[in-house]
């Protein structure tokens, strides 16, 4: 009797975990697609680091939290701040400010990757700054997010938990039918 009770609890736990996994992955994929590939939570965007220019502090493949900025916030940065800015060709870059200057065009930031030998070729206009690095980093998870954003990854991460849940359901039904059949056989032999 105790064995059955334990099996019921294990069954419930496994079913719940698989269902949570399926829903979580589906939500992650949907939110990633709806937000254009960069989810935002409480004013922070999660960005995947694709190069080693900021190593060792920010490693390639990490996910970093970048606080979104707009308007006057863009002109208030100082030397040492790590900013994320739009470079030509719609490419985002996260580098450290080494110099702040003012010109007729507005505030200009000279930036440099911590792992680079020289400053970046062009200064960054304040209006091109999209965020400031919050200091929050999760190493290596960016590889998984990049995979999840690919068509193959999206399909796999949506289909795999569903297949696991379906397979586990088939197993549970088979085990229940076997138990019922065994009980019926024992009842028939007892009569």
Q: What is the pLDDT of residues 7-27, one digit of tens each?
A: 778 878 887 887 787 777 677
Q: For residue range 19-56, what is the model confidence (pLDDT) as tens digits?
A: 787 777 677 667 666 666 555 667 777 787 888 888 88
* Most confident stretch, 3-12, 73-82, 152-161: 73-82
In the chain, domain spans: 2-33+148-177, 39-139
More confident residue, 99 or 32: 99
Task: DSSP for 42-88, please give it.
Answer: TTEEEEE--SSTTTTTS-TT-EEEEEE--GGGGG---TT-EEEEEEG
Is 51 an active-site residue?
Answer: yes
Q: What is residue 142's predicted lDDT score, i.e. its pLDDT?
A: 77
**Please, which residues have CB within 8 angstroms of residue 125's CB and are 6 or more apart in sequence?**
105, 106, 107, 108
Given 3.40.50.11030, 3.50.50.60, 3.30.70.1140, 2.10.109.10, which CATH number is that of 39-139? 2.10.109.10
Lowest mean pLDDT among 28-37, 69-78, 104-113: 28-37
Catalytic residue among 24, 35, 51, 122: 51
At 114, is the secondary structure helix, strand, or coil? coil
Q: What is residue 165's predicted lDDT score, i.e. its pLDDT?
A: 78
112, burial (CB in 10 Å: exposed 0-12, middle 13-18, buried 19+): middle
Query: Which structure tokens are listed for 69?
Result: 């900025």
């Amino acid at each position: 009797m105790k064995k059955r009770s334990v099996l019921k609890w294990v069954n419930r736990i496994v079913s719940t975990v698989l269902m949570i996994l399926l829903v979580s992955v589906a939500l992650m994929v949907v939110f990633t697609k709806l937000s254009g590939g960069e989810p935002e939570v409480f004013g922070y965007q999660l960005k995947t680091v694709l190069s080693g220019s900021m190593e060792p502090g920010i490693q390639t493949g990490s996910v970093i939290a970048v606080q979104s900025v707009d308007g006057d916030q863009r002109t208030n940065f100082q030397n040492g701040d790590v900013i994320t800015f739009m470079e030509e060709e719609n490419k985002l870059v996260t580098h450290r400010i080494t110099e702040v200057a003012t010109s007729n065009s507005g505030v200009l930031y000279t930036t440099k990757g911590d792992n680079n030998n020289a400053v970046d070729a062009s200064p960054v206009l304040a209006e091109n700054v999209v965020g400031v690095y919050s200091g929050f980093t999760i190493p290596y998870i960016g590889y998984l997010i990049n995979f999840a954003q690919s068509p193959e990854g999206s399909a796999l991460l949506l289909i795999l938990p569903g297949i696991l849940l379906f397979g586990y359901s088939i197993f549970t039904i088979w085990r229940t039918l076997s138990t019922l059949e065994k009980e019926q056989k024992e009842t028939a032999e007892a009569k």
